[in-house]
Amino acid sequence: MDSDEVIVHLFKIYYMWIFTRLDKNLKQTIKLLSLGTFLEYFDLFLYVHMAVLLNDLFFPPADTHARTLLTAFAFCSSFIFRPLGAMLFGYIGDTYGRKITVVITTFMMAITCLIMANAPTYSQIGIAAAWIVTGCRILQGMSSMGEIVGAQLFLTEATPLPVRFPVVGLISVFADLGGTMAIAVGVLATSYGFNWRIAFCIGSGVALIGSLARTTLRESPEFADARKRLQSVAKRTKEDLTQIKSRPFYNEPVDVKTALAYFLIKCSGAVFLYFIYFYATTAFKAVFSYGAHQILMHNLFLCMVQIIFLAILRTYLSTKMHPLKILTFAWIGISLFIPFLPWLLKHITAPWQLFLIQSYIILFWPNDLPGVPIFFKNFPVFKRFSVASFLFALAYAIIYTITSFGLTYLIAYLGYWGLLVLMVPVLIGYGYAIQHFIKLEKVAGRYPKLMAWDIDS
């Protein structure tokens, strides 16, 4: 049994284990949201992982240094404008519902992929080609922001315990699968002459069908109930909704420390994601004489490690222990390792050594999985989408801008020790954030035992 078959087999076991505990309507909801997330992240990362090929087609020729900055810009363009998407879709999600956001975002991704599939190259129309592609990447980044938060929040509010954490974790699994499929297409394009435009066309068509299918979703129960209570109060007091929304129960304030803690968690996850997939492999391209095909193959195997040992394993463990315990363990594991990272990178002599380093970091990746529902639940229901999506987007926009451009100069002046300038502060922030949420869970009586959680919430 090869690695692909192992992933498929484990995923089937994981998927069936979750689905045996859910009713029919919720199963259908999960299928629609999971498929949509898969397509969103396939479309989003298709260009990212094929940048080594597509940048030559859509951007003007450049020297080595300029090409490094150009690659960084191509990567960042889909994240810098995410906060705008977060504000837009956050407002829609908290005002009109979670359902409409996941429909709109899937449709947006379908349209941008269709444009990119038919976009003329730099040799055909000059610099306008670069602007077209960059514009599409910006819209894709905004779209993916509303997609991932919308799907996770929808299932957080719709799924009962004890399967809430693995169900929400399933969205991350499908996002990872989408990214993995994007790399696989890149491998085909760089080694077997597969036409990359066909991939964008397929992604566009399936995403369009997915957006239509999602119109059949029911609104998340928690948000729908909150809206009903709001309308009930308005009817009973004979006030319109505008007046009701000025009352304290609707305008429940967001705790600043909680918002900061969530922001720090997202920052940490972004730093290590960039290092694993976009810095480490390309930085050693010359050392290992890697071409585009070898880089993509290397990242493809890393994605397989991520799916099995991060996404599936962590979400399964969340049924056995409190998710914040898992994240605390991950924080300790990565914190003990990072001080040795510069020395290890300096003494790498073979690709498999780099792969082991990246795999270790994936295993102890300090991100939000599987604690997403806990973080969401600590925000007021009528501000949950807006706050969570904006903080998520802001963290990624800031961190990816700093890492994409900053590492180029930090490594030049400090060597691999420059990595610690970014990694150590975000790990300190991550540790603070996890402890903050542990305190909140203790106050609510939901930590450390699973059975003490809000079963009826």
Mean pLDDT of all residues in 115-135: 86
pLDDT at 340 over 60: yes
Position 335 scores a pLDDT of 97
Mean pLDDT of all residues in 97-109: 83
Q: Range with the lowest mean pLDDT among 175-189, 232-246, 356-370?
A: 232-246
Position 6 scores a pLDDT of 56
pLDDT at 64 over 90: no
Position 419 scores a pLDDT of 93
Position 227 scores a pLDDT of 67
pLDDT at 399 over 70: yes
Q: Report the chain's mean pLDDT, rounded to a whole number.
A: 81
d(CA 182, CA 50): 8
> 59-84 b/e with 16+ CB inside 10 Å = b?
beeeeeeeebebbbbbbbbbbbbbbb
Tokens, residue 107: 């449709």
Residue with tokens 């009817």: 235
Torsion of CA 1, 175, 212, 97, to 10 degrees: 140
Tokens, residue 228: 């009903």
230: confidence class by pLDDT, cuts 50, 70, 90: low
Tokens, residue 360: 């270790």
81: confidence class by pLDDT, cuts 50, 70, 90: confident
| Residues with Cβ within 8 Å of residue 155, at least 6 apart in sequence | 29, 30, 33, 164, 167, 168, 170, 171, 220
pLDDT at 404 over 80: no
Higher pLDDT, 196 or 256: 256
pLDDT at 345 over 90: yes
Which ranges of 20-97 would DSSP assign to H, the alpha helix? 24-49, 51-58, 64-80, 82-95
Q: Range with the lowest mean pLDDT among 169-183, 280-294, 332-346, 379-393?
A: 280-294
Mean pLDDT of all residues in 101-117: 86
SS (HEC) of 342-368: HHHHHCCCCHHHHHHHHHHHHHCCCCC
Torsion of CA 187, 192, 197, 199, to 10 degrees: -50
Q: Is 88 exposed, middle or buried (0-12, 13-18, 19+ CB in 10 A)?
A: middle
Position 8 scores a pLDDT of 58
Which ranges of 238-346 would DSSP assign to H, the alpha helix? 241-244, 256-274, 280-283, 292-306, 313-317, 323-337, 341-346
Give the pTM: 0.83
Position 456 scores a pLDDT of 40
Kindly list the structural domains of the chain, giving each domain's residue range(s) and its CATH number in brackets, ordered by start: 22-219+252-452 (1.20.1250.20)
* Conformation bin of residue 402: beta by default, left when phi > 0, alpha when psi is -120 to 50: alpha
Position 283 scores a pLDDT of 74
Instruction: Collapse the DSSP code of 424 into the 3-class scheme (helix H, G, I; strand E, B; otherwise coil) and give the result.
Output: helix
Report the run of H or E that residue 252 belongs to, with start and end: none
Q: Range with the lowest mean pLDDT among 41-55, 352-366, 377-391?
A: 41-55
Position 35 scores a pLDDT of 79
Position 355 scores a pLDDT of 94
d(CA 353, CA 294): 15
With a pLDDT cut of 90, the percent of the chain lying above it is: 25
Higher pLDDT, 238 or 380: 380
Mean pLDDT of all residues in 243-268: 81
Position 202 scores a pLDDT of 79
Other CB atoms within a 10 A radius of the CB of residue 451 amount to 8
pLDDT at 147 over 50: yes
209-223, 280-294, 318-332: which is most confident: 318-332
| Residues with Cβ within 8 Å of residue 147, at least 6 apart in sequence | 36, 37, 40, 101, 102, 105, 106, 109
Mean pLDDT of all residues in 266-286: 84
436: confidence class by pLDDT, cuts 50, 70, 90: very high
Mean pLDDT of all residues in 126-141: 83
Q: Range with the lowest mean pLDDT among 122-131, 371-380, 400-409?
A: 400-409
d(CA 49, CA 266): 22
| Residues with Cβ within 8 Å of residue 128, at least 6 apart in sequence | 120
